[in-house]
């Protein structure tokens, strides 16, 4: 099975007809969404309840781990311990888990999270604190996939039942990893597409690099290549979930719909589609 989604549901003009119903509109097109707001702050319970109510029963989220959980910042400012931080995060998403609306939790680590004994130990700690919940790991340090470490990294992810996040991104010197189209989890593979804006990913001499990094429009040939990779991954994972993160120019939705057409797949049990009469 192949599913397709986007990062967030707000910045996609192609599929947003009513500003007050962005999530409802989104869930009339796609069965899954990456929830990136949880990276910046653990959301309040009222938000969780609202997102559950606004989406179909089979719709699922991929919440991004809070930034202190992936060492983008210190946890000591807000929590008494790492254990408490993870406990609060897991409790927050418990209602979604109860309703089977979590596909996986995305742990995207920073470029300075290198392949070291200390960080390997931290990943073991993540598995312990996340218990048996589905966890996807995305690295940004090439050290995990050097010729010496690649196979060891993949085997380590398998041992801990982590999902290897397969990425498409420009191969910049300091903040990217190669595409490693290997599944480490029988249930799920995640294929995250960031675009190929090399200059945007470098971030050099760009005032607002966040608006530039994912500014990219995949062409048909590139989308066909993604479809082939997804079909190959489908042989080793029950589900392959493709997430388009090339949002800066509003290309993610159109690229996702084009890939869906190339694959010849349909998604059932979506929200009712709103008609754009004008």
Decide if 193 contacts 244 (C-beta within 8 A).
yes
Relative orientation angle of helices 82-92 and 117-130, to the nearest 10 degrees: 40
Backbone angles phi, psi at 136, to 5 degrees: -105, 135
Torsion of Cα atoms, 135 then 115 then 109 then 59, to 10°? -20
Q: Which of 148, 149, 153, 197 is nearest to 175 (CA)?
A: 197
Torsion of Cα atoms, 221 then 249 then 167 then 164, to 10°? -130
> What pLDDT sits at residue 21?
85
> What pLDDT sits at residue 211?
64
Q: How far is 139 from 259, CA to CA, in rounded Å?
A: 25
Contacts for 36 with CB less than 8 Å, ≥ 6 apart: 7, 8, 64
> What pLDDT sits at residue 277?
39
Q: How far is 36 from 84, CA to CA, in rounded Å?
A: 21
Domain ranges of the chain: 2-263
Q: How far is 225 from 229, CA to CA, in rounded Å?
A: 6
2-263 CATH, one of 3.90.170.10, 3.40.640.10, 3.20.20.410, 3.90.1640.30: 3.20.20.410
Q: Which of 81, 6, 12, 77 is nearest to 41 (CA)?
A: 77
> What pLDDT sits at residue 210?
61
Q: pLDDT tens digits, the chain, 278 residues: what are they?
A: 999 999 999 888 877 767 778 999 999 999 999 999 999 999 999 999 999 999 999 999 999 999 999 999 998 888 999 999 999 999 999 999 999 999 999 999 999 999 999 999 999 999 999 999 999 999 999 999 999 999 999 999 999 999 999 999 988 888 889 999 999 999 999 999 998 887 766 765 555 556 677 778 999 999 999 999 999 999 999 999 999 999 877 899 999 999 999 999 999 989 887 655 34
> What pLDDT sits at residue 212?
72
CA distances for 18 relative to 23, 157, 184, 208, 252, angstroms: 10, 41, 39, 28, 18
């Amino acid at each position: 099975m192949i599913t397709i989604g986007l990062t967030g549901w707000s910045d996609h003009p192609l599929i947003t007809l009513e500003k007050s119903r962005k999530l409802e509109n989104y869930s009339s097109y796609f069965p899954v969404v990456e929830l990136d707001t949880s990276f910046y702050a653990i959301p309040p319970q009222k938000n969780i309840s609202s997102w559950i109510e606004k989406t179909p029963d089979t719709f699922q989220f991929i919440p991004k781990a809070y930034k202190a959980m992936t060492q983008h910042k210190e946890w000591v400012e807000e929590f008494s311990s790492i254990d408490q931080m993870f406990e609060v995060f897991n409790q927050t998403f418990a209602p979604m888990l109860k309703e089977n609306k979590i596909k996986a939790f995305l742990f995207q680590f920073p470029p300075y999270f290198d392949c070291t004994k200390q960080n390997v130990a931290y990943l073991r700690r993540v598995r312990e604190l996340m218990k048996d919940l589905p966890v996807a790991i995305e690295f940004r340090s090439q050290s995990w996939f050097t010729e010496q470490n690649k196979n060891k990294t993949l085997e380590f992810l398998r041992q801990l039942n982590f999902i290897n996040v397969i990425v498409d991104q420009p191969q910049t010197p300091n903040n990217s990893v190669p595409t490693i189209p290997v599944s480490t989890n029988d249930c799920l593979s995640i294929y995250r597409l960031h675009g190929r804006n090399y200059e945007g990913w470098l971030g050099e001499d760009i005032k607002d690099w966040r608006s530039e990094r994912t500014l990219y429009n995949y062409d048909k040939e590139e989308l066909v290549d993604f479809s082939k990779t997804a079909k190959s991954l489908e042989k080793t994972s029950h589900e392959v979930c493709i997430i388009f993160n090339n949002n800066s120019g509003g290309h993610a939705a159109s690229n996702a719909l084009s890939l869906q057409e190339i694959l010849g797949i349909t998604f059932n049990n979506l929200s009712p589609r709103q008609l754009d009469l004008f």
